[in-house]
Amino acid sequence: MVLLGTIVNGVCILVGTLIGKMLHRIPEKIKSTVMAGIGLAVSLLGIQMGLKSEQFLIVIFSLVFGAILGEWWGLEDKLNSLGKWIEKKVGPSSGEGTIAKGFVTATLIFVIGAMAIIGALDSGLRQDHQVLYTKSIIDGFTSLILATTLGIGVLFSAIPVMIYQGSIALFATQIERVVPQGLMDSFIVEMTGTGGVMILAIGLNLLGLTTIRVANLLPGILVTAILVSGVYYWNHILFFAQGLL
């Protein structure tokens, strides 16, 4: 079943959120310290991912042009509007967080990253769900912790996660036919680097050090794909030209 890994991922987010919501009576001091710990861990993960880039100029250009596109399209505002629409339907969450904040923060954490793409591709191409199973466990525990501070809004992040990963899994066969393996490998490396910077920004936001509009950086992933493709085919053209000479 192609979508099994994606479904398990969504279920783990739901279960983790519900368990975390039951633990919402944790004292505020503990909540703030736990949130700081999450922020530090997310920041460290972002740094580790960012350092995996082999062509950091691609990461820089991806973030710059991605930010321009994101601000132009107003992705952060649209994502927040969706969260607030959900909030109106089910009512504001109790405690520190709102449904909109929990939804946006959790969605960005769960969607950005190589595991989502690699896992979905493995599910679609080989029906191997191990990567997504691993991501499911991580996301489950993360959603549990986030729900204790950001509330029930974290639960709704399962929807975009399942749509995003499910779409990649369903179209994986077509992706393999069109995209050469070398290009895909290079994209995953640079996408990991670009996504790592975004993850770091999420961590800094969770720590309260910044208010970066991370959703408006998301088009950077698309820009990464374009730049990596350009470099890949340009190198092949040069190699072919040198062969002729």
The reported pLDDT for the residue numbered 94 is: 47
The reported pLDDT for the residue numbered 96 is: 44
Per residue in 213-237, is it b (16+ CB within 10 Å) or e — as a string?
A: bbbbbbbbbebbbebbeebbeeeee
Non-local CB neighbours of 96 within 8 Å, separated by 6+ positions: 28, 31, 149, 150, 151
Query: Would the CA dihedral through 25, 26, 32, 38 be positive or negative?
Result: negative
User: Domain coordinates of the chain in residue numbers?
Assistant: 4-57+75-180+194-212
Query: Would the CA dihedral through 99, 23, 5, 134 be positive or negative?
Result: positive
Non-local CB neighbours of 192 within 8 Å, separated by 6+ positions: 49, 52, 53, 113, 114
User: How high is the mean pLDDT in each 10-residue block of the chain (245 residues)?
Assistant: 92 94 78 82 86 94 96 90 78 59 88 80 84 88 86 91 93 82 89 88 88 90 94 89 72
Q: What's the CA gap between 38 and 108, in Å, rounded?
A: 14
The reported pLDDT for the residue numbered 92 is: 56
Which tokens hold the place of 234? Answer: 């340009």
Which tokens hold the place of 122? Answer: 């493995």
The reported pLDDT for the residue numbered 57 is: 95
Non-local CB neighbours of 89 within 8 Å, separated by 6+ positions: none
Q: What's the CA gap between 58 and 226, in Å, rounded?
A: 10
CB 180 within 8 A of CB 32: no
92: which DSSP letter? Answer: P
Whether the full predicted model's pTM is greater than 0.85, yes or no, is no
The Cα-based distances of 218 to 48, 64, 200 in angstroms read 19, 11, 13
